[in-house]
Structure 1
Amino acid sequence: MSGSTPKSTVGALPDTTATSPLVPVALTWLVWSLFVASLAMLFGRVRFGLAPEVPGVIAVDGLTVLLWVVVTFFAGIVHSYSRRYMAGSAHETGFFFAVFGFAITVMALVAADHVALFGLLWLAMGLVMAKLIGILSGWEQARAAATVARRSFLASSALLGVALGALWWTTGATTISGIAAAADSLGGPVWLLAAVALVLAAMIQSALVPFHGWLLSSMTAPTPASALMHAGFVNAGGVLLIRFAPVVTVDGGLMLAIVAVGATSALLGKLLKSVRPDVKSKLACSTTGQMGFMIMQAGLGFFGAAITHLVLHGFYKAYQFLGSGGGVERTSPSKAKAHVTSGSGVVDVAVTLLTGLAGGAVFVLVTGKGASLDTGLLLALFVVFTTLHAARGAVRHASLPASVRYGAVPLVFLPAIALYALVYKGISGLLTGLPVVTAPTELTALHGVVAAVFLVTYVAIETGVHERSRRLYVALLNASQPSPGTLLTNPNEYDNGGTQ
C-alpha cells in the first residue's frame, strides 16, 4: 500500500440486491420472517397468555418469546449487514448457513424443557459459534481461534452435562420445569456439585474472568459474526442462570459467591480494556465487564434485571461492532481533536454524586427495587454505576467543554436510567410465571464488603490510580493477551486471511 492515497478508486461496492447468491437472499428473508412471527408470538403472549408446549419436550413462556424476538432481530441485522460484507467471499454461503443455524439453535434452546434436549442444543450452539470464529478455514490464526473457542465451549457443555446429570439423579426429573418443581428438596453435596457446575458453565459461555481468553482470541471472526457473538452468544450464561434459578437460589452463600464473581469480572473487564490498543479487543474486554454486571444482578436475586441487562447490552454491543470501522475513523488523531480532559476536582465529584443520587431515586421510584433493606439496594447501586459510566463516556467522547459537560451528563444519564427502569419493569412483567424472577435476600456484612471493595476499586480506576503501577500494567497486558496461536505476527496475514 506504499505510495497510495486515501482517495484511490477501488471500484463501486457490489449491488447486493442484484449480485447476491440465492442462499444469502433466501436466508435473510427467512430470518426476518421469523422475527415477524416472533413479534406475533410476543403479542399473543402478552394479550392472550399464549403458551404452546409439547409436554416434557418444549415449553414456550415469556422468556422464550422475548428471546425469540431479540435473537431473530439481531440475526436479521447480521444477515442484512453480511449481504455486502461477505459479498464475493468463497465462504459466503457457509457463513450464512452458520449464522442462520445459530439463530435456529438458540431459538430451540430457549424453548427446550427436556434436559437432554437443552444440553444437546447448548453444545450445538457452541460448536456453531466456533465454526463462525474460524469460518476462514485457510487462515491459520482463524483455525487456532476456532480451536480455542471449541475447547472452551466443550468444557462448558461438559459442566452443564454434569449439572443436569446431578439434578436428574437427585430429583428424578427429566425436565427443567420438573427440576424447578422439586427445588425445595434440593441440598447436600449433589446439589452443590450441580449448582457450581451450572455457575462455571455460565461463566465460560459469558467469557467472565478467568475464562475470557476464548473471547479475546476470537478476533479472526468476521465483524458480523463478532456482533452476533457479543450481542447474543455471551448472553447464554444469564439465560442458563435464570432457567435454573430455583437451583442456584437454594443457598444464600452461593448467591453471594455469584455476586463476587460478577463484580470481579466487571472490574477486571474495565481494567483490561484500558490496556488494549485496538477497537475490537477493547469491545471484547467491555463485554467481559458487562457480563460481570449481568451475573452480579443474577447473584443479587434479580433475574429479571439480568435479562434486561443482557437485552440492552446486546443492542448496544451489536451497534458497536457493526460500526467498529467508523469508530476507528472517528477516533483518529487530528488537530481538531485535541486532548480533552474528562473533568476532575470538587465540581466533577459533586456533579457525579448528585447525578447518581437523582438517577438512583428515579430507578427506585419506577421499579420499587432498592426501597427495602435487601439486595435491591445493591441492584440500584450497580444499575446507577453502569448507566452513569455509559453516560459519562458518551459525553466525554463528544469533546464538549467542561462547563457544558457537567450539565450534559445529567441530561444523558437521567433519561437513560429511566428507560432502563421502564424496560426492566416491562421485562419483569413478561417473565411472570417463571419459577423465580425475583429472589432478593437480606443484606449481610459480606454484601457490604463486596460493595465497598467494588466502589473503592471503581473510583480508583476512574481516577487513574491503576495507571501509576508498571507491575499492574504488565499484569493486565498479559491477562488481556489472546492465545498465542491466534496472533498475527505479519501484517500481510490480514490480507491473506481476508482472501480465503
Structure 2
Amino acid sequence: MSGHSSKTTVGALPDTTVESPFVPVALTWLVWSLFVASIAALAARVRFGVGGWEIAGVVAIDGLTVLLWAVVTFFSGIVHSYSRRYMAGDAHETDFFVTVFGFTVAVMGLVAADHIALFGLLWLSMGLLMAKLIGIVSGWKQARAAGAVARWYFLASSALLGVALAALWWATGAATVSGIAAASETLAGPVWLVAACALVLAAMIQSALVPFHGWLLSSMTAPTPASALMHAGFVNAGAILLIRFAPVITVDATLMLGIVVVGAASALLGKLLKSVQSDVKSELGCSTVGQMGFMIMQAGLGFFGAAITHLVLHGFYKAYQFLGAGGRVEQTAPTGTTEPATSVGGVAVTLLTGLAGGALFAVLTGKGTSLDSGLLLVLFVVLTTLHAARSVVQHTSLPATVRYGAVPLVFLPAITVYALVYTGIEALLTGLPVVTAPTELTALHAVVVAVFLVVYVAMEAGVHERSQRLYVVLVNASQPSFGTVVTSTEDYNEY
C-alpha cells in the first residue's frame, strides 16, 4: 500500500468556545497575560537597560530571567491554547491545565530564584510536576509506570542538586546563587569537586543526556502538548543550571573538557538511537537527546550564551515538531524506493556550504577568530545547523540532485539567524558572572573533535547501517522501561 487510501471522515472538531470548563479558559488567558508582561519586561531591559530587580537574598531578575520568562510563557501559551481542543472532553482536562500552569510558574520562579533553598525547591517542584504530566492518565497503567520512572529520575536529580548546593554553602558560606558566584575564586579541593560533579550530573539527568535518557524515551504516554512542553522547555533546564553556576564549573579546565566529552557522546548516540526508531515521538525523543548533547557541549566550551541560544532555537523547533507530529504521520507513506547513494558532488557542495557558513558565523559573532575553543563552537554550530537544513530539504519532493543545491539556500540564512540571535542573547546576558569563558585548546580537545568527526561522518555515510549487531545494541539501548510499553490496543482504554 502506498499513498493515502482512506477518505477523510473525521467530523468537525469541538468548539472550545462553547461549554468549555472555566479553569482551562482562565489559565489560558492568564498564561498569555504573563507572556505579555514578560515581553514588556524584556523590552524594558533591551530598550532602557531596566532590570536588576531583586528581593535581596531571595530573587534576582536579570537579563537571563526576562529572556526565559518570555520564552517559557510563549511555549506555555501555545500549549495551553492547543490543549483547549486536544484535551476537550477528557476526564483529566482540568487537572492537566492546572499542572501545566503550575509547571510554568515553577520554571518562572526557578530562573529568578537567588536563594539556594528556593532554587532547590523549585527544581524539585518542576520535576514532580513534569512527572505528573507524563502519567496524567491515572487509569492507564503504562502512563502511571512512565510517571513513576520519570519521578525517580527527577528525585535523583534534585538530590544531586541538593548535595551540590549544600557543598557550595559549606565551602563559601553563601546561601545565594549570586553569593556563591562572588566567592567562586576561593573554590578548590574535594568540596568543590563534589559540588561541581553533582551539578553536572543533575544537569545531565534533567536534559536526558546518555546514560540518563531512559526517562525521556519512557515518557511517550504523556499527552502530545505535554511532550511539546517537555522537549521545548523542561529538558533545557540543564543549560539553565550550568549557566547559573558557571563560576563554579569554570574553575577547572579539566572539568570543562569532561562536559564537552559528555555532550559529544550524547550528540552522537542520540543521532544513532534516532536511526532505529519506528515511531514519530520516539524519533523526536532521540533527536532531543542529541540536541541536548550539542547544548551541553557549548557550555563545556565556555560559551554559555551559545548554550542559551541553542536552548531557545531548539525549543521553537521541537515544539513545532511535536505539535505537528500527527500531521507528519498522516503524510508519511511507503514509496517502495530508496534514497540514492551520496554523490561526490553532493559531498563537495555540503563541505563548501559548511565552510561558507562557518566563516559567516565567525564574522557575525567574532567567535572562532582566535586559537581557542571558539573554533570548536563554530564547528558544532555549523554541524547542527547544516544537519537541520538538510533535514528540511530532504522532506521536500525535490529530486535528489536538486536537494544538494537547495541546502545552501536554507543553511546560509539559517546560520545567519542563529548568529544574530546569539549576538542579541549574549548582549542581553551582560551582567551575569560568566557568559563567555573560552578555554585554551589542548591535544585532548583535538582527540575529542577528531573522534567526533570520524563517527559523525561515518553515520552520515550510513556505515552504522551495515552492522546487525550494532542495530540490536541501539534498539536495546533505546527501549523504554518495560512497564511503560503498550502491547495491545486495549491498553489505551483507561476505562
Report the TM-score, using the length of structure 2 for normalisation. Answer: 0.98
What CA distance in whole angstroms lies between the structure 2 residues aligned with 1:354 and 1:19?
A: 58
Tell me the SS of whatever aligns to 2:17: helix
Q: CA deviation at 1:249?
A: 0.2
Is this contact kept in 2: 1:102–1:128, CA < 8 A?
yes
Q: CA deviation at 1:399?
A: 2.9
Name the counterpart of 1:231: 232
Is this contact kept in 2: 1:466–1:472, CA < 8 A?
yes
Please say if 1:248 is aligned against 2:249: yes
Of the three residues 342, 345, 348, the one matched with 2:343 is 345
Count how many residue pairs are aligned between Structure 1 and Structure 2: 490
Is this contact kept in 2: 1:31–1:100, CA < 8 A?
yes
Name the counterpart of 2:160: 159
Tell me the SS of whatever aligns to 1:59: strand
Q: CA deviation at 1:331?
A: 1.6
Please say if 1:26 is aligned against 2:26: yes
Name the counterpart of 1:383: 381
Q: CA deviation at 1:405?
A: 1.3
Code of the residue aligned with 1:261 in structure 2: it is V
Of the three residues 460, 481, 484, the one matched with 2:482 is 484
Q: CA deviation at 1:9?
A: 4.3
Name the counterpart of 1:288: 289
What CA distance in whole angstroms lies between the structure 2 residues aligned with 1:492 and 1:356?
A: 49
Q: CA deviation at 1:102?
A: 0.5
Code of the residue aligned with 1:32 in structure 2: it is W
Deviations 1:105-160 (A, max 9, x none): 00000000000000000000000000000000010000000000000000000000
Name the counterpart of 1:310: 311
Deviations 1:210-237 (A, max 9, x none): 0000000000000000000000000000
What CA distance in whole angstroms lies between the structure 2 residues aligned with 1:214 and 1:282?
A: 15
Is this contact kept in 2: 1:340–1:399, CA < 8 A?
no
Counterparts of 1:66-465 in structure 2 under 5 Å? Answer: 66-334=67-335, 338-341=337-340, 344-465=342-463
Q: Which runs of 5+ in 1 are unaligned?
A: none
What CA distance in whole angstroms lies between the structure 2 residues aligned with 1:67 and 1:264?
A: 27
Is this contact kept in 2: 1:227–1:317, CA < 8 A?
yes
Please say if 1:43 is aligned against 2:43: yes
Tell me the SS of whatever aligns to 1:19: coil
Q: CA deviation at 1:330?
A: 1.7
What CA distance in whole angstroms lies between the structure 2 residues aligned with 1:405 and 1:473?
A: 28
What CA distance in whole angstroms lies between the structure 2 residues aligned with 1:116 and 1:332?
A: 52
Code of the residue aligned with 1:327 in structure 2: it is R
Q: CA RMSD in A?
A: 1.1
Code of the residue aligned with 1:255 in structure 2: it is M
Name the counterpart of 2:14: 14
Q: Which runs of 5+ in 2 are unaligned?
A: none
Tell me the SS of whatever aligns to 1:374: coil
What CA distance in whole angstroms lies between the structure 1 residues aligned with 2:207 and 2:381?
A: 19
Q: CA deviation at 1:67?
A: 0.2
What CA distance in whole angstroms lies between the structure 2 residues aligned with 1:385 and 1:226?
A: 26
Residues 8 and 307 of structure 1: CA distance in aligned 2, closer, same or farther (over 3 Å): closer
Code of the residue aligned with 2:452 in structure 1: it is F
**Following superposition, which runs of at least 4 residues in structure 1 exceed 4 angstroms of deviation?**
none
Moved more, 17-26 or 89-98: 17-26
Deviations 1:1-43 (A, max 9, x none): xxxx944745421100113111100100000000000000001
Deviations 1:272-324 (A, max 9, x none): 00011000000000000000000000000000000000100000000000000
What CA distance in whole angstroms lies between the structure 1 residues aligned with 2:375 and 2:99?
A: 42
What CA distance in whole angstroms lies between the structure 2 residues aligned with 1:7 and 1:350?
A: 44
Q: CA deviation at 1:348?
A: 1.3
Tell me the SS of whatever aligns to 1:327: helix
Q: CA deviation at 1:396?
A: 1.2
Deviations 1:176-235 (A, max 9, x none): 000000010001000000000000000000000000000000000000000000000000
Q: CA deviation at 1:370?
A: 0.3
Tell me the SS of whatever aligns to 1:53: strand
What CA distance in whole angstroms lies between the structure 2 residues aligned with 1:406 and 1:271?
A: 23
Is this contact kept in 2: 1:119–1:160, CA < 8 A?
yes
Report the TM-score, using the length of structure 1 for normalisation. Answer: 0.97
Code of the residue aligned with 2:139 in structure 1: it is G
What CA distance in whole angstroms lies between the structure 2 residues aligned with 1:453 and 1:379?
A: 16
What CA distance in whole angstroms lies between the structure 2 residues aligned with 1:412 and 1:319?
A: 18
What CA distance in whole angstroms lies between the structure 2 residues aligned with 1:490 and 1:327?
A: 23
